[in-house]
Amino acid sequence: MAVSSQKADEPITEINITPLVDVCLVLVIIFMAVAPFALVAGIKVLESRAKASEGKVDLNENVRVKLTEAGVVTVNDTAVPEGGLSAAIASALHKSRDKMVTVTADDGNRVGQVVEILDTARQSGAQKLAILRTEEEKTPEGAQGG
């Protein structure tokens, strides 16, 4: 029989690292399982207010795509039929120097419609994408009709 060298009243001075190693291995497995979900592919978009960008960038050099609440899409203030968006953006990008597309949408539009326009712009050759939003006009508190 093996006899331990410790007496019954002495404290245990050895550290048991088995639980620590077990916890670390479980954490490694969890991080390995979660890591692919952390790397989500997306579209990098520059967001700015239309009023703030007027003095910084000449908006006439960029391709302007506007989506109205009724679903009408315009490229550089010209209405585009449903199937012709890609061709209209490509021809406008050919004339553009910096290959930037700015998208403006009304509040009533669905996000999916805006994402489709961004995807089409990227596939048509846009190197930069931006979403412009117009600032709401501030009305005085007492000016609302009653």
E strands present in 4-127: 46-49, 63-67, 73-75, 78-80, 100-105
CATH class, range 46-133: alpha beta
Residues 6+ positions from 46 with CB-CB distance below 8 Å: 128, 129, 130, 131
Task: For 64-89, give one letter per residue: b (16+ CB within 10 A) or e.
Answer: bbbbeeeeebebbeeebeeeebeebb
Whose structure tokens read 């539009």? Answer: 109
The pLDDT value recorded for residue 57 is 47
What is d(CA 99, CA 74) in angstroms, rounded to the nearest whole number?
A: 17
The pLDDT value recorded for residue 146 is 46
DSSP state letters, 56-67: TS-TTTSEEEEE
Other C-beta atoms lying within 10 Å of the C-beta of residue 9? 5
Cβ contact 59:102 at 8 Å: yes
Domains in the chain: boundaries? 46-133
Splitting the chain (146 residues) into consecutive groups of 10 residues, what average pLDDT does each group show? 65 86 96 83 60 49 83 86 86 84 80 84 85 65 52
